């Protein structure tokens, strides 16, 4: 019986999904990633495949997707395949993220990496564009929870946070939000892509075609407007 169960699990890992099956993708739970998940629900729905999102910490989600314990990632920046070789990028952007610098009670004259390098900066673990942009910063705090980073910023223990704009906007609407400054222009504007685990390589041409069609028809933009992203 044990050998039979191992054999069944091996088959499930080796063969891609087909019509009528269900795929589970990791995501962080932000409004931006939820908008991307809605796009994927529509695109895979055209292929007869149901999809669902599993909310996880960013770094853990990537690790599980790369191991094949998830079917892929909802949306990530293009650089991740360098460190996660078992994830395949679907080469049609389904969203974009603006990385903004948030400060407490002060507005920066220049929003650039040179200025940021001289400050005590906080970023979220697993936020890959923030990790890449701040690599080598002398006073960098990395935490898995952005809310804890915000507490440090408000307490004066950090000078700035590098975060996604949608999350920054939610913080401006909190009771302490009048103290916060979202410094313009964004430090980075980065396209986001859907990723599949390598065992689903056979799905890549089909989902690429569906997403390209949705992009060209304006459906991706429409879905994201409905989600309040654009």
Residue 19, preceding bond cis, omega within 30 degrees? Answer: no
**pLDDT tens, position by position, 7-43:** 444 444 444 555 678 999 999 888 889 999 999 999 9
Dihedral of alpha carbons 142, 158, 139, 132, sign: positive
**pLDDT tens, position by position, 112-135:** 999 999 999 999 998 989 999 999
The token pair at 86 is 């078992």
The overall average pLDDT reported for the chain is 91
Mean per-residue pLDDT, 164-188: 94
Domain 14-95+192-226 has CATH 3.40.190.10: yes
Domain 97-189 CATH (choose: 3.40.50.11310, 3.30.950.10, 3.40.47.10, 3.40.190.10): 3.40.190.10
Query: What confidence score (pLDDT) does residue 19 get?
Result: 60
Global pTM? Answer: 0.79
The token pair at 164 is 């996604």
Contact 77, 142 (CB under 8 A): no
Domains 14-95+192-226 and 97-189 share a fold: yes
- pLDDT confidence bin for 207, thresholds 50/70/90: very high
How many Cβ atoms are within 10 Å of 162's Cβ, its own excluded?
26
How many Cβ atoms are within 10 Å of 139's Cβ, its own excluded?
12
How far, in Å, CA of 180 to CA of 166, rounded? 14
Say whether 95 sits in a helix, a strand or coil: strand
Closest CA to 229 of 113, 135, 124, 95: 95
Domain ranges of the chain: 14-95+192-226, 97-189
The contacts of residue 57 (CB under 8 Å, 6+ apart) are: 28, 125, 126, 144
């Amino acid at each position: 019986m044990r050998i039979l169960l191992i054999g069944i699990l091996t088959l499930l890992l080796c063969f891609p999904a087909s019509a009528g099956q269900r795929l589970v993708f990791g995501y962080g739970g932000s409004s931006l990633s939820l908008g991307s998940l809605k796009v994927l629900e529509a695109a895979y729905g055209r292929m007869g495949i149901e999809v669902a999102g599993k909310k996880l910490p960013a770094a853990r989600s990537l690790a599980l997707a790369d191991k094949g314990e998830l079917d892929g990632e909802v949306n990530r920046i293009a650089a991740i395949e360098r460190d996660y070789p078992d994830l395949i990028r679907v080469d049609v952007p389904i969203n974009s993220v603006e990385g903004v610098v948030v400060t407490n009670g002060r507005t920066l004259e220049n929003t650039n990496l040179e200025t940021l390098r001289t400050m005590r900066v906080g970023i979220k673990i697993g936020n890959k564009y923030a990790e890449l942009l701040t690599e080598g910063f002398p006073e960098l705090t990395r935490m898995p929870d952005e809310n804890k980073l915000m507490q440090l910023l408000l307490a004066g223990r950090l000078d700035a946070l590098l975060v996604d704009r949608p999350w920054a906007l939610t913080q401006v609407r909190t009771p302490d939000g009048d103290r916060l400054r979202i410094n313009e222009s964004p430090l980075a504007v980065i396209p986001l892509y859907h990723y599949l685990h390598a065992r689903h390589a056979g799905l890549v041409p089909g989902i690429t075609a569906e997403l390209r069609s949705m992009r060209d028809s304006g459906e991706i933009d429409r879905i994201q407007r409905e989600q309040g992203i654009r």
